[in-house]
Copies of this chain bind each other. A is one copy, B any other.
């Protein structure tokens, strides 16, 4: 694949939001891979989750290790084949990777939005994505695809713009968050908001970054992305300085340090590293916003909680994928979506992939998982105009 470049589009028309607020004007940052065919029927939109971006696939020129977050899935000859499909990645408003977000100036005041950036929703994001497609001259998506929060966007596309989506691929997702999911989000938010460097969300003006809170938020997140199994397999109770004398032998452990603050176990080292890395690049206000996007999504709520009724509007064909050890968005939640679609006599393919990797599995290169997605997109490709 040739090097890729992010592109920007300015939208001068206000975007009305579910909250009643509006985003008066905004930029969207996006990337495309592959070529739009003559009848504009081969477009695939990839929706990102909490901390990803428009940079789905490929590399940036002169930047090694700049592969997109789903480079194992999207590209020439890959399961979502850019020799066949025209794939679009877009950064959602409120995020911190190029599209208008909390660190940008509010056109009403000329000052940085900070904590005043309006609370957006999955539905708002889908509306913004639909306008991007309008600008690109794409009426109908061959497919909309996403994992986790991205899967919520894919599902919402089929409800908000049923005529504009032929296929929806919903991976490791759920029709809404459980109380436990919301609880984890809330703890992460409290860690950020109560960090003295947060300054009520106006940390940009104070020249600070609430890194303590971001680190805690990311550590909590990471625990929920992994399964108990994979954590035991990768880290177990290994001490940080375990001495591996012979790869065939279990590592010989030095005695404990007996410290409450030093790193003792490998898992602690791993989590601290992940937290530190995240705090260097992720925006705290964005973290608050996007966890709320997750919390608020609940298409059944306007139908008295009846998901079957909520999904009646969907006319797309669906691929739904879940992972056995994903306890953040468990297979049970995917099956709820499948059941509601089947109740409506929709065309659904469902795959429950047996993997130890927990929620993270949707980003990983698992042969059975990729095989299912590849097979599905081959079927989609067979229906394309030339």
A-side residues, CB < 8 A to B, are 18-21, 115, 118-119, 176-180, 182-184, 186-187, 189-191, 193-196, 201, 212, 215-216, 219-220, 222-223, 226, 228, 231-232, 234-237, 250, 253, 256, 258-261, 264-265, 267-268, 271-272, 275, 285, 288-289, 291-292, 295-296, 298, 301, 304-305, 327
Q: What is the bound-complex CA distance between A288 and B264, given in angstroms?
A: 13
Residues B215 and A194 in contact, CB atoms below 8 Å apart:
yes
Within the assembled complex, what's the spacing in Å between the Cα atoms of A237 and B267? 32
Give Cα A271 to B216, complex, Å.
16
Smallest CB–CB gap between A310 and chain B, Å?
14
Asked whether A232 lies within 8 Å of B289 as measured between CB atoms, the reply is: no
Q: How often does this chain occur in the complex, in copies?
A: 2
Alpha-carbon separation in the docked complex, A331 to B272 (Å): 29
Residue on B nearest A223 in the bound complex, by CB: B183
Q: Which of A21, A183, A327 has the most CB of B within 10 A?
A: A183
Contact B265 A223 (CB under 8 A): no
User: A275 to chain B: which residues have CB within 8 Å?
Assistant: 190
Flag if B187 contacts A264 (CB, 8 Å).
Answer: no
Q: Which residues of B contact A304 (CB under 8 A)?
A: 250
Task: Specify which chain B residues have a CB less than 8 angstroms from the CB of A20 in the assembled complex.
Answer: 258
Do B228 and A186 touch across chains, with their CB atoms under 8 A apart? no
| Cα–Cα distance between A177 and B184 once the two chains are bound (Å) | 21
A118 to chain B: which residues have CB within 8 Å? Answer: 258
The answer to whether B180 and A264 have CB atoms under 8 Å apart is: no
Q: Contact: A189 with B260, CB < 8 Å?
A: yes
Cβ–Cβ < 8 Å partners of A21 in chain B: 258
Closest-by-CB residue of B relative to A292 is: B260
B182 close to A265 (CB less than 8 A)? yes
Query: In the complex, A309 Cα to B186 Cα: how many Å?
Result: 43
Q: Are B232 and A182 in contact (CB under 8 A)?
A: no
Extra pairs beyond A119-B258, A179-B232, A179-B265 (5, CB < 8 Å): A179-B267, A180-B228, A187-B219, A190-B272, A216-B216
Chain B contacts for A285, CB-based, 8 A: 260
- Residues of B near A180 (CB, < 8 A) are 223, 226, 228, 231-232
A193-B237 in contact given A223-B180, A223-B187 (Cβ < 8 Å): no
A119 & B271 in contact (Cβ 8 Å cutoff) = no
Contact B216–A19 (Cβ < 8 Å): no
Q: Are A232 and B178 in contact (CB under 8 A)?
A: yes
Query: In the complex, are the beta carbons of B220 and A256 less than 8 A apart?
Result: no
Query: In the complex the two chains form, what is the Cα distance from A294 to B296 in whole Å?
Result: 36
Closest partner residue, chain B, to A275 (CB atom): B190
A260 contacts which of B219, B268, B289 (Cβ < 8 Å)?
B289
Given A261-B189, A265-B295, also A223-B305 (CB < 8 A): no
